[in-house]
């Protein structure tokens, strides 16, 4: 069996660990593995390389992806199917192991299935916004990275009281990541794009929090509407300084947590076994605490919005 590994869309902590796990299984099973440079566009351009297991093992705990990715919608090109089949035939590739998020799973995976190409997808995005799975690879690591930043912010908040601290996370276009971080960190407020708040209410609430606790910690998603306007207006309306910290893409490069390392290896094992047993297509999903291969097509709908009850609990509304 020969497999080509492809990373599509954004990178996420745990991808390297999953690649390492798949390579180990393939090596023990006498199988062959290639990697695509530059995502699906690189695969179409025959940018394939042999993967050095010793190098991958050294990077298994590192964030990002040793295989470069791409957001290029290469499969939409008129001759994409013919070019892809030619590459797979030339290298005698039997199946694809594809890492990706919501867009990859909803658009690329069904197209590959329609073309008769064997492909199993491992959901990998720190945003945790993929429908029909409770968890996506990298989410825990990104949360842990943010929690480290929270500790630093709280140290400053204690030393210099009387301020509002905004911690901006990745996660666009949803607020799933921000809500998870807000809840775990004990933040005073979570600002999510799905549930925008009125500025005067927010200013009054923050003023009361600072008066009571000495500072206010707010976790907000990068997708929250008009963050720059919020940062400018709140100090005027509340009469309190704001300190804004944007985590940015450093979250994607976070060190891989224990949970993500385990899930990465479990996902790769499920995919490898499925290929060996003749499974053609599927997505490895986590539901009710158990990982399994979902062989049917996933719904094209987006994941439901973040848990409203949890959001209201965090914000004490």
- H/E stretch holding 159 reads helix 139-159
Helix axis angle for 258-276 and 15-29, nearest 10°, is 40
| 197 token code pair | 């708040």
CA distance 76 to 96: 18
Selecting among 20, 127, 129, 140, the annotated active-site residue is 127
> Where are the alpha helices (H) located in 1-138, listed in sequence order?
15-29, 39-44, 53-58, 80-90, 102-103, 109-114
SS3 readout for 166-206? EEEECCCCCCHHHHHHHHHHCCCEEECCCCCCCHHHHHHHH
Closest CA to 253 of 98, 69, 61: 61
Name the DSSP class of 100: E
| 36 token code pair | 């695509």
CA distance 300 to 286: 18
Question: Scanning the structure block, which residue is given the tokens 């009850």?
Answer: 309
CA distance 49 to 101: 23
Closest CA to 114 of 86, 87, 84: 84
Measured CA distances, 61 to 65, 226, 265, 284, 309 (Å):
11, 36, 12, 21, 34
Active site residue 204: no
Which residues are marked as active site? 127
């Amino acid at each position: 069996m020969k497999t080509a590994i492809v990373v599509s869309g954004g990178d996420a902590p745990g991808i390297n660990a999953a690649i390492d796990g798949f390579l180990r299984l393939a090596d023990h099973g006498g199988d062959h593995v290639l990697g695509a440079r530059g995502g699906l566009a690189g695969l179409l351009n025959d940018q394939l390389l042999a993967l050095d297991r010793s190098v991958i093992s050294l990077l298994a705990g590192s964030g990002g992806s040793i295989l470069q990715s791409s957001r290029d919608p290469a499969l939409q090109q008129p001759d994409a199917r013919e070019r892809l089949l030619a590459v797979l035939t030339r290298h005698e590739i039997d199946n694809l192991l594809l890492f990706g998020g919501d867009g990859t799973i909803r658009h690329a995976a069904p197209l590959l299935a329609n073309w008769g190409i064997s492909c199993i997808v491992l959901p990998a995005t720190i945003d945790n916004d993929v429908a029909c799975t409770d968890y996506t690879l990298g989410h825990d690591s990104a949360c842990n990275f943010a929690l480290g930043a929270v500790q630093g912010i709280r140290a400053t908040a204690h030393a210099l009281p009387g301020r509002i601290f905004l911690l901006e996370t990745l996660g666009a276009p949803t607020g799933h990541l921000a809500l998870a971080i807000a809840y775990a960190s004990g933040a005073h407020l979570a600002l999510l794009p799905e549930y925008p708040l009125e500025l005067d209410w927010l200013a009054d609430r923050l003023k009361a929090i600072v008066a009571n606790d000495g500072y206010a910690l707010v976790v907000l998603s990068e997708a929250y509407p008009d963050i720059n306007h919020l940062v400018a207006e709140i100090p005027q309306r509340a009469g309190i300084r704001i300190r804004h910290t944007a985590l940015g893409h450093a979250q994607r490069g976070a060190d891989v947590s224990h949970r993500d390392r385990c899930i990465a290896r479990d996902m790769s094992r499920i995919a490898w076994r499925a290929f060996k047993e003749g499974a053609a297509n599927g997505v490895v999903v986590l539901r009710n605490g158990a990982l399994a291969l979902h062989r049917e097509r996933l719904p094209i709908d987006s994941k439901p919005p973040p848990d409203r009850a949890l959001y209201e609990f965090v914000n004490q509304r």
